[in-house]
Structure 1
Amino acid sequence: MIKKPLILITNDDGINAPGIRTLISIMKPLGDIIVVAPDSPQSGMGHAITLDATLYAEEHKFNHATHREYSCSGTPADCVKLAIRQLADRKPDLCVSGINHGSNSSINVIYSGTMSAAIEAGIEGIPAIGFSLLNYKWNADFGACKEYVKIITENVLTHGLPDGVVLNVNIPDIQKHEIKGVKICRQARANWVEEFDKRINPQGKDYYWLTGKFVNLDEGDDTDEWALANNYVSVVPVQFDLTAHHYIDNLKRWNFKV
């Protein structure tokens, strides 16, 4: 008997978020699933892990589901670590994270809890995908992206991914018939120009509220930002090796003698 792949499902918006409920429904026909997700929203947590607090995991039964679901008191990366080391019966064959409420294209991948969960799985040698829809609303319509999430997942299950590579998938917030297809892209050179709005609370103490705008500095037509602006699903292979390999030889020519 051929064993179905075990698919670990997680996110950063919390176990009750509509995005992860949609992702669960897409994954059910593709394999056995286990869900381990934060018990509350963890957006923007990046790759934070819990070191100085107790971690809790509570099992849930949603609509009499036959698969196992756990809410975790920690971060998205904690969820993946706990799933692999404690909660799953065997090592997952795939990890899918999302579907995130909002973009994780370009520089957002650095801050994303969604992508950090996928990257944590990649560190453990598990093929992983982070899915995001460009709609921040809690009641976002995920209907248009279902078939793209399914076919990208099926391709990863069929072809696998190289060690150290994780897929970052972003889906434009448009109707299904408006999506032109899938583009394999590079990460755009874009960033947030941030400001801090200084305010005073009723007790007279200063506090700061982060504001800013997103600026795309990249004019290339091979980037995730271009793809999304032109109604394509963007797929970017990312890696967690942050070494600037192209600069190693330059550094070797520096004088480090003391």
Structure 2
Amino acid sequence: MTIKCAVKSVSLLTDSIYRILLQPAAPVSYKAGQYLLVVLGTKNKHPFSIVSSPCRQNGHELELHICVAKKNACALDVVNASKATLEKGDDSFLIEAPHGDAWLREERQRPLILVAGGTGFSYVRSMIDYCLSQNFTQLIFLYWGGRDINHLYSNNEMKMLALKHSQLNYIPVLENAPKNWSSKIGNVLEAVMEDFVSLSKYDVYIAGRLEMVIMAREKFCNERGVRCEHLFADAFAYL
């Protein structure tokens, strides 16, 4: 379903990651972990995870995190379109929502392993906020990996959230860490493998580069006992 949106704000989280807040003309009903399509034309649609929890303003506000990299001209087009709509002050920013089958299976109430690379964090952030707002008690382990500290753009916020909620365990992982770094260094998937002998009791949700998602399925299923029905990623729909 195509939905008209007003753009409430466009701001920078880092020098290359934008935070966009949308106000849809009608509330959007979706599940934590789903995504939307930004519609720039009939054959010009781009997927982005919905960062906001489904309970945020009951679907009246949607948040996106968009990385504008040199090789991603489409993302820049979306950001420019959002800025143009904000400047006009109308609701001409079009989306289609909801999409995706890798949403949070909340009815299971199994402990969660959430694995994110870079802006894949936007996928799992919705789940974290939803679980905490609904007072779920199952353990949540968030592994967020990046090349350097700038890629973990909400690192301090997540550390504070983990201090406030005992069921949330936040493990940031850097490939290139500063000297005073006290968390894990290296590959985010290897960090999970180091910490868990078995993942058979967990529901595992993954977002990041396609290569990372493929490798995660291979390692977690073959070496750590994850069953296919307990492993989720939007990328699996295209493999």
Q: Give the TM-score of the pair, scaled to structure 2.
A: 0.34
Return the index of the structure with the highest Cα Rg: 1
Q: Give the TM-score of the pair, scaled to structure 1.
A: 0.32
